[in-house]
Amino acid sequence: MSTQSLQKRESDLANSNRQLDILSGGIFKTGELPTFKDKIAETNQFPLKPKKLEILQINLGYMCNQVCEHCHVDAGPDRKEIMTRETMLQCLEVIKNTGAHTLDLTGGAPEMNPDFKWFVHEASKAGIKDFIVRSNLTIIRANKKYHDLPDFFKEHNVHVISSMPHYTRGKTDKQRGSGVFDKSIKALQELNARGYGMPGSDLRLDLVYNPSGAFLPGDQTALEKDFKKALKEDFDIEFHNLFAITNLPIARFLDYLIASENYEDYMYSLVEAYNPAAVSNVMCTNTISISWDGWLYDCDFNQMLDLKVASKVQHISDYNEALLNDRKIIISQHCYGCTAGAGSSCQGSVA
Amino acid sequence: MQKTYYDPADLKKFGKISEWNQELGDKFFDYYSKVFEEGHLTAREKSLIALAVAHTEQCPYCIDAYTKDGLQRGITKEEMMEALHVGAAIKSGATLVHGVQMMNKVNKLEM
Ligand code: SF4
Ligand code: SF4
């Protein structure tokens, strides 16, 4: 496993235009597979439009303590893009006035932003109903200064969503790096000790599963059952829900697909599993994604492809929810990842 | 004409067998999907049985399909290999148990 981001490696694919070329070239150019636009047009769902805004997802930066092979953010310790306090202040203004009921902080490892705690503290005052932090678990054990995170999360009633590729050490470490499994288990036990994830507890702890390879996630309910059983039996760990998320063919996962000669087969699998019923609930229909430097996107994936919202308003500094809600969502072939099978979003299945 | 008997791309065309006999094709695919539904056995257990049988039948299409199916279900490679050994044990057992027939015959013919 590489320990550097594509950007640091100066890979071709660090360039979002190159990724977009790949996604619209090859089998999609020759017509062997239909484009996402043509596919959703079959059921009159083009252009894709937002519904009511429910979630503000803020990316606090691309810095991360891990360098997972499948990462769609191309995050890592070598990424220096992190949100400044100035942009955070602009976000806070928006959070205070938004109609969205959920605030979702992501990264990278959002906790690595030096102003993370300050921001969470301020944002929690806005009275948002569901306040999510996407924590990769190992960060809690990475350094002494993060050891108090479980208490901090509890204090602010944060809803923790964490990635856990598998309930076995082998599969987890293969995707995320050696030692990740043991650290994650320890972090989960600490969260449990604070009441997180316990049956009936208001302190929500959900896990995210994404496949460790060029295949789609299986049935979310069945996977949740297997995860619950194994984590309980082996480590006495409890959690609330498991979200099964499909890997989208962008950034490092795209790099992996191409290098392992799985790209075409994977795109075939995504198109074959296309479910028209999932389209109306894809994430971009109820989410606005905000980047570390304050630009607005339809989703975190479009952010990584640098596809800014198609609206007069493109930056947090002139945020206008009504105008934004009138936009057309920008799509490309990576969107097939959101509509495969039961669909996939940051909250798991959608159909 | 293709140069090899098997082409991985043919697996995607499996559904086309119905084109030349819709009724029987439909019946087969209905039956097939019903068999793999969650029942007294879990879908996960059925997937492992299918993987083992795919190997004893030595069907490259089925091996391709049920390896991927297993991964999607979160089945580990250790579990997959164990299932294969069950198939292999039955195969070799089935070979060796016929040894009794051989022994019977030898015993009957030899003075
Ligand atoms: S997948 Fe998450 S934990 Fe892994 S490198 Fe990317 S941001 Fe970090
Ligand atoms: S990738 Fe983004 S824009 Fe495309 S369907 Fe998914 S959420 Fe929507």
Reported as a single tens digit per residue, the pLDDT across A277-303 is 999 999 999 999 999 999 999 999 999
Is residue A173 pLDDT above 90, yes or no? no
Amino acid identity for residue A75 in this structure? A
Residue A3's nearest CA partner among A179, A267, A197 is: A179
Q: How confident is the model at residue A348 (pLDDT cuts 50, 70, 90)?
A: confident
Describe the crossing of helices B60-72 and B43-56 by its angle, rounded to 10 degrees: 150
Are A105 and A61 contacting, i.e. CB atoms less than 8 angstroms apart?
Answer: no
Report which protein residue has its CA nearest ligand 1's atom 4: A68
Is residue A20 pLDDT above 90, yes or no? yes
Mutate to test the interface with B, among A168, A174, A245 (most CBs of B within 10 A): A168
Ligand 2 atom, smallest distance to A302 CA: 2
Mutate to test the interface with A, among B7, B37, B71 (most CBs of A within 10 A): B71
Mutate to test the interface with B, among A32, A166, A221, A226 (most CBs of B within 10 A): A226
Q: Residue B8's pLDDT is what?
A: 86
Q: What is the mean pLDDT of chain A?
A: 93
Residue A104 sits at φ, ψ, to 5 deg, of -125, 110
Q: How confident is the model at residue A252 (pLDDT cuts 50, 70, 90)?
A: very high
Residue A55 sits at φ, ψ, to 5 deg, of -125, 130
Beta carbons of A218 and B73 less than 8 Å apart:
yes
Q: Residue B9's pLDDT is what?
A: 86
Contact partners, residue B19, CB within 8 Å, separation at least 6: B25
Q: Which CATH architecture has domain B13-109?
A: Up-down Bundle (1.20)
Nearest CA to CA, how far is B71 from chain A (Å)?
Answer: 7
Ligand 1 atom, smallest distance to A67 CA: 5
| ipTM rounded to 2 decimals | 0.75
Beta carbons of B74 and A215 less than 8 Å apart:
no
Is residue A189 pLDDT above 80, yes or no? yes
Report the distance separating Cα B40 and Cα B45, nearest Å. 10
Q: Show residues of chain B in contact with A230, CB under 8 Å.
A: none
The helix/strand/coil state of A225 is: helix
Are A48 and A310 contacting, i.e. CB atoms less than 8 angstroms apart?
Answer: no
The residues facing A161 across adjacent strands are A134, A206
Beta carbons of B76 and A218 less than 8 Å apart:
no
Considering only CB atoms, A217 lies closest to which of B72, B77, B78, namely B72
Contact partners, residue A94, CB within 8 Å, separation at least 6: A56, A316, A319
Residue A283, exposed/middle/buried by CB under 10 A (0-12, 13-18, 19+)? buried
Reported as a single tens digit per residue, the pLDDT across A67-105 is 998 999 999 999 999 999 999 999 999 999 888 899 999
What is the mean pLDDT of the segment spanning A36-60?
95
pLDDT string in tens for chain B (111-residue length): 678 888 888 888 999 999 999 999 999 999 999 999 999 999 999 999 999 999 999 999 999 999 999 999 999 999 999 999 999 999 999 999 999 999 999 999 998
Mutate to test the pocket of ligand 2, among A49, A334, A336, A349 (most ligand atoms within 8 A of CB): A334
What is the mean pLDDT of the segment spanning A43-66?
95
Q: What is the mean pLDDT of chain B?
A: 94
Reported as a single tens digit per residue, the pLDDT across A130-172 is 999 999 999 998 889 999 999 999 999 999 999 987 888 888 8
Considering only CB atoms, A215 lies closest to which of B44, B68, B77, namely B68
Residue A343 has, within 13 A of its CA and on its CB side, a CA count of: 16
Amino acid identity for residue B17 in this structure? I
- Cβ neighbours, 10 Å, residue A129: 10
Class of domain A12-338: alpha beta
Report the distance separating Cα A147 and Cα A132, nearest Å. 19
Which DSSP letter does residue A295 get? B
What is the mean pLDDT of the segment spanning A190-212?
95
What is the mean pLDDT of the segment spanning A10-32?
94
Q: How confident is the model at residue A1 (pLDDT cuts 50, 70, 90)?
A: low
Ligand 1 atom, smallest distance to A74 CA: 6
Q: How confident is the model at residue A349 (pLDDT cuts 50, 70, 90)?
A: confident
- Containing B101, the helix (H) or strand (E) segment is helix B99-109
Beta carbons of B76 and A171 less than 8 Å apart:
yes
CA distances from A248 to A3, A141, A291 (A): 21, 28, 18
Q: Residue A3's pLDDT is what?
A: 82
Residue A191 Cβ contacting ligand 1 at under 6 Å:
no
Q: Residue B1's pLDDT is what?
A: 64
Report the distance separating Cα A319 and Cα B83, nearest Å. 57
Which DSSP letter does residue A242 get? E
Annotated domain spans of chain A: 12-338
